[in-house]
Structure 1
Amino acid sequence: MSHSIAIIGASGYTGAELIRLLATHPSFEIKALAANSKAGQPLANVFPHLRHLDLPDLVTWEKIDYSQIDLCFCALPHKTSQEVISKLPKSVKIVDLSADFRLRDPAEYEKWYGNAHSAVEMQSEAVYGLTEFYRDEISQARLVAGTGCNAATGQYALRPLVAAGVIDLDEIILDLQCGVSGAGRSLKENLLHAELSEGTNAYAVGSTHRHLGEFDQEFSAIAGRDVKIQFTPHLGPFNRGILATAYVRGDSDAVLAALQSAYEDEPFVEVLPKGETPSTHHVRGSNYCHIGVVQDRLPGRVIVVAALDNLTKGSSGQALQNANLMLGAPETAGLTLAPCFP
Structure 2
Amino acid sequence: MTAPTSDVVGAVATAYSAKVVGQIHLRESILLVLLSGGHLLIESVPGLAKTTAARVVAEAIDGSFRRIQCTPDLLPSDIIGTQIYEAAGNTFTTQLGPVHANIVLLDEINRSSAKTQSAMLEAMEERQTTIAGVEYPIPEPFLVIATQNPVDQEGTYPLSEAQTDRFMLKDLVQYPSVDEEVEIIDRMGAGLYDRDHRAAPVVTTADVRRAQQIVRSVHMDRALVEYASRLVSVTRDPERHLPASMARLIEYGASPRATIAFCRTARALAVLRGRNHVLPDDIARLAHRVLRHRLVLGFEAASARITPDVVIDAVLQTVPVP
Q: TM-score range by the shorter chain?
A: under 0.3
| TM-score (structure 1 length as normaliser) | 0.26
